[in-house]
A = this chain, B = another copy of it.
Amino acid sequence: MMIIEWDQQQQQDSQPQNQREENGNGVIYVNAMTDEQLETLLKQIAVYASICEQLVEMHKNLTAHQNLTGGRLGNLYCDPLMTAGGHKISARQRWTPTALQLQILERIFHEGTGTPSKQKIKEISSELSQNGQISETNVYNWFQNRRARSKRKQVVAVSSNNNAAESEVETKVESPKTKPENLLVSQAEQDVCFQNREISSQLNHLGGSYHFYEQHAWQGE
């Protein structure tokens, strides 16, 4: 049974998987993996490949059946019960991003330079308006919130070892940057960190915690 804290990016457990063994001539890197572990890794890759294929398949099927229901279906004005009784039920008054809009926003958020400039906001909202009602204010707010909350999460992740007086020296020394950039998958981890809990959990597990596999082989049955 293992436990993964998916968005805590501490490096406390980053036990190197590779054992470095030095000989006289230099350094030889030996990865002490058992066959079982290696097999697990390879299987994971294969599984991902299969899943990707199947997801693509699903996507194709769905898009084939979709008739551009984009519009404002999921959004403001089409609540199912709206006209059920003959009189209107006041639906939500606050903007809710369409899945499509969200997708685009997330993409921009990740690729972009954290600066949602005025001009950019205009562009984005005009682009998003093709997928549903949206205003520039919505976009602005979305970015504000997105940034703030993602930041807060990271802060929370970093904390939890904060003790009172005496630790200030060490923290002062070490605090500026304690991000685990040594993991080569950390980029992917960042990308998915705050999108969807269920997805990122899985992906982070796969990407960021590969060194866990061994002991807790996923004997699903």
Tell me the bound Cα distance from A63 to B74 in angstroms.
11
Q: Which of B19, B135, B203 contacts A198 (CB 8 A)?
A: B203
Bound together, the chains give a CA A56 to CA B197 distance in angstroms of: 12
A211 touches B205 (CB 8 A): no
How far does the Cβ of A147 sit from chain B's closest Cβ, in whole Å?
18
CB distance from A191 to the nearest CB of B (A): 7
Number of copies: 2
| In contact, B8 and A3 (Cβ under 8 angstroms) | no
Give the contacts of A170-220 with B (CB-CB under 8 A): 181-182, 184-185, 187-189, 191-192, 195-216, 218-220
Q: Select A219's contact among B57, B80, B91, B196, beta carbons within 8 Å.
A: B57
Least CB distance from A83 to B in Å reads 9
Q: Is the Cβ of A6 less than 8 Å from the Cβ of B4? A: yes
Q: Quick one: which of B37, B181, B192 contacts A89, CB cutoff 8 A?
A: B181
**Is A167 in contact with chain B by the CB < 8 A criterion?**
no
A142 CB → nearest B CB, Å: 14
Cβ–Cβ < 8 Å partners of A18 in chain B: 15, 35, 38
User: Complex Cα distance A12/B160, Å?
Assistant: 12
Of B10, B47, B71, B122, which contacts A210 at CB under 8 A?
B47
Of the residues B13, B98, B103, B136, contact of A16 by C-beta under 8 Å = B13
The 3 closest A-B pairs by CB, nearest first: A209-B220, A48-B48, A202-B207
